[in-house]
Homo-oligomer: A and B are copies of this chain.
Amino acid sequence: MTEARLVVVDDEPNIRELLATSLRFAGFEVFAAADGLSAIQLITDTSPDLVVLDVMMPDLDGFEVTRRLREKGVHSPVLFLTAKDDTQDKVTGLTVGGDDYVTKPFSLEEVVARIRAILRRTQHVEENEAVLTYADLEMDEDSHEVRRAGVVVDLSPTEFKLLRYLMLNSGRVLSKTQILDHVWDYDWGGDANIVESYISYLRRKIDTVTLPDGNPVQPLIHTKRGVGYMLRQSR
């Protein structure tokens, strides 16, 4: 699954590059197109496992691109990128297939998570479990359920994304900037302090669980002062 082939289609160079580079970095093989027509060409040529497709484009919009592809018998699932106000109805109607959508501005965590989810469904390889695990921490990406030492904790959407990012990078120190860039929307303009706040929330929820024997759990979230945060077993 980390070898999947993607095609990214967006007319804005910034977004296209942002997606292309970070998805490559996330382990995908990525091809990019800047408009609807060349997208159709590229997709029929490469027959990718998934297409990330902007809805609003000058020549053909994303729906039209999809329609033509289907007409030609290409059935790669699509992750649409839409503006928040884009006719909710049209978009939701499309998610009935294997498809899904993300609204702009998005966070990279969001996009990667959706892609992973779609691929999990379409390439139903048995080993493709939707459960992330680190130590006694489990996260089910399908049910959105998180357990610490078997105890279910419930997280807000942002807390969930932050934790997923930490889990996907366990054992590695992540700077506040890195976290901000991945977990928050790409146009976020606020203070990096927000990361501290959410780390604080997460700690309260997953690092203060009491074990059945009455003892507290070992903390998994660690601060590397002056560097960043890390998910790791304490020693």
Report A's interface with B, CB cutoff 8 A. 13-14, 17-18, 21-22, 24-25, 67, 70-71, 75, 88-89, 91-99, 108, 121, 142-144, 152, 156-157, 171-173, 175, 177-178, 180-182, 186, 188-189, 191-192, 224-227, 230, 232, 235
If A230-B143, A232-B143 touch, whether A21 touches B156 (CB-CB below 8 Å) is: no
Sample (16) of A-B pairs whose CB atoms are under 8 Å apart = A13-B71, A17-B70, A18-B96, A21-B98, A21-B99, A22-B96, A25-B98, A92-B188, A93-B186, A95-B175, A95-B177, A95-B181, A96-B182, A143-B230, A143-B232, A157-B225
Does the CB pair A181–B143 fall under 8 Å? Answer: no
In the complex, chain B residues whose CB is within 8 Å of the CB of A227: 144, 157
Complex: chain B residue closest to A226, CB-CB: B157
Complex: chain B residue closest to A174, CB-CB: B95
How many copies are assembled?
2
Chain B nearest CB, measured from A130 CB (Å): 9
Query: In whole angstroms, what is the CA distance A193 to B111 when docked?
Result: 25
Query: In whole angstroms, what is the CA distance A156 to B172 when docked?
Result: 17
Complex: chain B residue closest to A63, CB-CB: B14
Query: In whole angstroms, what is the CA distance A97 to B186 when docked?
Result: 12
Does the CB pair B96–A108 fall under 8 Å? Answer: yes
In the complex, chain B residues whose CB is within 8 Å of the CB of A93: 18, 181, 186
Does the CB pair B172–A97 fall under 8 Å? Answer: no
Chain B nearest CB, measured from A88 CB (Å): 8
Does the CB pair A173–B143 fall under 8 Å? Answer: yes
In the complex, chain B residues whose CB is within 8 Å of the CB of A226: 156-157
Query: In whole angstroms, what is the CA distance A182 to B97 when docked?
Result: 10
